[in-house]
Amino acid sequence: MTIPPSPHRPDVVERTAAAAAAPTERFAVRTQGMVASEIRALFAVASRPEVVSLAGGMPNLAALPLDTLSAEIGDLVAREGQVALQYGSAQGVPALREQICDVMREEGIEADPNDVVVTVGSQMALDLVTRLFCDPGDVVLAEGPSYVGALGSFAAYQARVVHVAMDAEGLVPELLEEALRTLAGRGITPKFLYTIPNFHNPAGVTLAVSRRRRILELCAEYGVGVVEDNPYGLLGFSGTTYPALRSMDRSVIYLGSFSKTFASGLRVGWALVPPAVRDRLVLAAESATLCPPSFTQMIVSRYLEKHDWRAQVKTFTEQYRERRDAMLAALETHLPDGCTWTVPDGGFYVWVTLPEGVDAKAMLPRAVTARVAYASGTGFYADGLGSRQLRLSYCYPTPERITEGVRRLAAVIEAEMDVRRTFGLPAAPAPEVRRGAHTPSPDTA
């Protein structure tokens, strides 16, 4: 039997026995963009007990009231098990969607629960949004550097990423305007701007409130959507909660998560979308999971209803601030001249720039040998930049482990610089300001 040519692949007429024996030859073209992130590949090594891991962004769950939560989960199964353990709505448990609106109100967002779609973590929401909007070859704007999970989703759907640089106050509006103008001159309209405005992952900086409206105006002027990813927004160290971009423009797609403010293992996130997007997002969610787990949603719903979740967020914030302070003190004490770093006022991360000529990715195996791990900067760019940068995470280790990890890292950096000096390479001049906030992405044009 002869199989007629496909209208999409006229060159493919029939499958041979050889092809049938090689599954990889049947993969879709888009899978070529699906590669393991550098961060995920690092986890197996970084999880060794002798290694101080400053690489992963795992929340610290030690402060959760586990005994109380255990009792609540048992009561949930006993009283509502036939609902909690059954299939549910593809859009999410209605009670939780209402509570999510209360959570978002902390950031100035007034929302209708009908416009909330609950997902299996905000990563799923990001993946679905990318699927809805991006055809192969479409352009997405993103800060440089950007969240590695977002870059993975964009690559999986064959979208092209154009990075826009940040400084100490986040995304630079003038550079965004320049990128939009340049793309428009080539007849390209990006599908959306993907941004993490608060306590950026990985850069640690926060978008200045004075810039937020201008960025929204520029995107509206050029017909570009905005996707706001905000998992850290309630984890500010100064007591300030910044207004969400979504609170200023109802067309913004807002992504949220309980992974950082409650429990990451429950995998409960959400997307707040305009009504015109909601129905298609629900259909996309149905095709991906049929429905998100009712059980984990109902656990989160009970937690929000019966516990002082704001006080719990404050407890988390105090722990992370203590760890942030330990990280900054250790960087100041141990890192050699020529290194700079950001000073986050919330979230999980510090972004470090190494002296000229020191390659963070090439140095990583030697750091692991010295029993310290970090995430090299190249993993946070779609175009291979970031070789002089690295991300340090302070959310999980104790302050003592953070200090020891930075001490080990500093010794590795010093050794790299010694090699440069030994082989006669010019020493990088020490910057005028050795510490504090700086441009997170000096490689990005």
**Residues 288-310: tens digit of each pLDDT:** 999 999 999 999 999 999 999 99
Q: Half-sphere exposure (CA, 13 Å, Cβ side) for 281?
A: 27
Q: What number is the average pLDDT over the span 259-278?
A: 96
Question: Would you tell me how many other CB atoms lie within 10 Å of the CB of residue 50?
Answer: 5
- d(Cα 157, Cα 166) in Å, to the nearest integer? 25
pLDDT higher than threshold 80 for residue 444:
no
* Beta pairing partners, 165: 144
Q: What is the pLDDT of residue 11?
A: 53
Confidence of residue 420 (pLDDT cuts 50, 70, 90): confident
Q: How many CB atoms lie within 10 A of CB 81?
A: 14
Between CA 14 and CA 371 the distance in angstroms is: 53
Q: Is 39 exposed, middle or buried (0-12, 13-18, 19+ CB in 10 A)?
A: buried
pLDDT of residue 27: 82
The fraction of the chain above a pLDDT of 70, given in percent, is: 87
Number of residues written out for the chain: 445
For β-strands 269-272 and 116-119, DSSP reports them as antiparallel
Torsion angle in degrees (nearest 10) through CA of 350, 354, 359, 363 = -70
Rounded distance between C-alpha atoms, residue 42 and residue 53, angstroms:
10
**Distance in angstroms (rounded) separating the CA atoms of residues 365 and 359:** 11
Determine phi and psi for 349, rounding to 5 degrees. Answer: -130, 150
Provide the pLDDT for residue 41. Answer: 62
- Least confident stretch, 29-43, 162-176, 202-216, 405-419: 29-43
- 332 has pLDDT over 90: yes
pLDDT of residue 36: 65
Alpha helices in 307-369 (DSSP H): 309-334, 360-369
Confidence grade of residue 436 (pLDDT, cut at 50, 70, 90): very low
* Amino acid making up residue 207: L
In this prediction the pTM is: 0.89
Burial 379-411 (b: 16+ CB within 10 A, else e): bbbbeebbbbbbbbbbbbbebebbbbbbbbbbe
Model confidence pLDDT, tens digit, residues 121-172: 999 999 999 999 999 999 999 999 999 999 999 999 999 999 999 999 999 9
* Residue scoring higher pLDDT (49 or 369): 369
Cross-strand pairs, 226: 193
Query: CA 13, 14, 18: angle at the middle one, nearest 5?
Result: 135
For 71, counting Cβ atoms within 10 Å of its Cβ (0-12 exposed, 13-18 middle, 19+ buried), the class is: exposed
Strand ranges (E), 32-121: 52-53, 116-119
- CA dihedral in degrees (55, 59, 60, 64; nearest 10)? -170
**CA-CA distances (angstroms) from residue 299 to 84, 240, 306?**
9, 28, 11
Six-digit token string for 57: 């962004």
Contact partners, residue 425, CB within 8 Å, separation at least 6 = 357
408 CB-near residues (< 8 Å, 6+ apart):
52, 367, 370, 371, 372
pLDDT recorded at residue 384 = 86
How many other CB atoms sit within 10 Å of the CB of residue 220? 13
Q: Predicted confidence band at 6 (pLDDT cuts at 50, 70, 90)?
A: low
Residue 51 three-state SS: coil
CA distance 134 to 78: 44
User: Residue 8 — very low, low, confident or very high, per pLDDT cuts 50/70/90?
Assistant: low
Centre a 10 Å sphere on the Cβ of residue 253 and count the other Cβ atoms it contains. Answer: 24
Q: Return the biggest CA–CA distance within the chain.
A: 74
Confidence check: pLDDT of 1 > 70: no
Q: How much of the chain is in helix, strand and coil states, percent to nearest 5?
A: 45, 15, 40
Q: How many CB atoms lie within 10 A of CB 418?
A: 10
Which residues touch 250 (CB under 8 Å, ≥6 apart)?
274
> Going by C-beta distance under 8 Å and a sequence separation of 6 or more, which residues neighbour residue 230?
107, 196, 197, 198, 244, 254, 255, 256
- Nearest CA to 242 out of 233, 254, 230 is that of 233
Task: Give the pLDDT score at 354.
Answer: 97
CA distance linking residue 199 with residue 144, whole number of Å? 14
Q: What is the mean pLDDT of the chain?
A: 90
DSSP code for 24: G
Residue 2 has pLDDT above 60, yes or no: no
